[in-house]
Amino acid sequence: MKYIGTIGVFLVSAFLIVMNSQPSHSTAPETQHAKAIFAGGCFWCMEPAYDKLDGVIATTSGYTGGHKDNPTYEEVSAGGTGHTEALEVTYDSTKIDYATLLEVYWRNSDPTMADSQFCDHGTQYRPAIFYSTDEERQAIEASKKNIESTKTFPGDIVTEISPATKFYPAEDYHQDYYQKNPVRYKFYRYSCGRDQRLKELWG
C-alpha cells in the first residue's frame, strides 16, 4: 500500500506540472505599439498635448520630411534641409486609436498657415502629417474633410499630408523641454501667441 501511495503522489505531481506549463487562454491582450508623426510648429509645444493622453507611451521631438541626413537643430533652424520640426508619438493601439491622435493634432496646430506656425516662420515649421500606411492616409484625408466641413474659422486647410520618411530624434536637451525648463517654456509659448491663436481657431 505504501508503494502504491508513493506512485500515486508522483503521478498527481507530474500532472500538475504539465497543466501549469500550458499557456493560459485568459491573459490580457498584448500591448500593440504603433507610431505616428505630426508636425505642428515648435516640437516643444506639441509634446504636452500627447503626453497626457492615456495610451500614449512616449513622445520624441525630432526632424523629418527633408533631405539632409542626421540634421542638427542649427541646420534645420537655418532652413535648407527640407526638414520640419516634428513629433513622433509611440502609442498603444489597443488603448487609443489613430483617429483620436489626429483630432488632438488639428486642435494643437494652425492648419491655415503653410510655411509657419504661430510666431515661427519658415518651412522648418510647416504643419504636416506623415503617414506610414494607406490606412493612415485614408484616416488623415477623412479627418481633414471633416475639419473642412465643420470649421468656423476662415482660410483653407493647407496642412501637408505626406508619406513618412526617416525620422531623426532631436538633441537630448529638446526632449521633454516643457518639463526640464518650465519657466522658459511657458514664456516662449505665451510670447509666441500659440494659445491665443488656438483659442481663436478652435474655441
HEC readout, the chain:
CHHHHHHHHHHHHHHHHHHHCCCCCCCCCCCCEEEEEEECCCHHHHHHHHHCCCCEEEEEEEEECCCCCCCCHHHHHHCCCCCEEEEEEEEECCCCCHHHHHHHHHCCCCCCCCCEECCEECHHHCCEEEECCHHHHHHHHHHHHHHHHHCCCCCCCCCEEEECCCCEECCHHHCCHHHHCHHHHHHHHHHCCHHHHHHHHHC
Consecutive 10-residue runs of the chain (203 residues): their mean pLDDT? 44 43 50 94 98 98 98 97 98 98 98 97 98 98 97 97 98 98 98 98 96
Task: Determine the residue type at 111.
Answer: P
**For residue 29, what pLDDT is reported?**
57
Question: Which residues have CB under 8 Å from 84's CB, separation 6+?
Answer: 39, 63, 64, 65, 66, 76, 123, 124, 125, 126, 128
Cell numbers at 31, concatenated? 500591448
- Per-residue pLDDT, 165: 97
Question: Is 192 assigned a catalytic role?
Answer: no
Q: What does each C-alpha distance from 142 to 15, 107, 145 come to in angstroms?
A: 56, 16, 5
CA separation for the pair 12, 59 (Å, rounded): 51
Nearest CA to 92 out of 37, 164, 29 is that of 29
* Per-residue pLDDT, 144: 98
User: What are the grid coordinates assigned to 93, written together?
Assistant: 493601439
| Marked catalytic residue, from 42, 45, 119, 192 | 42
Q: Which amino acid is residue 41, in one-letter code? A: G
**Type of residue at 188:** Y
Predicted TM-score (pTM) of the model is: 0.85
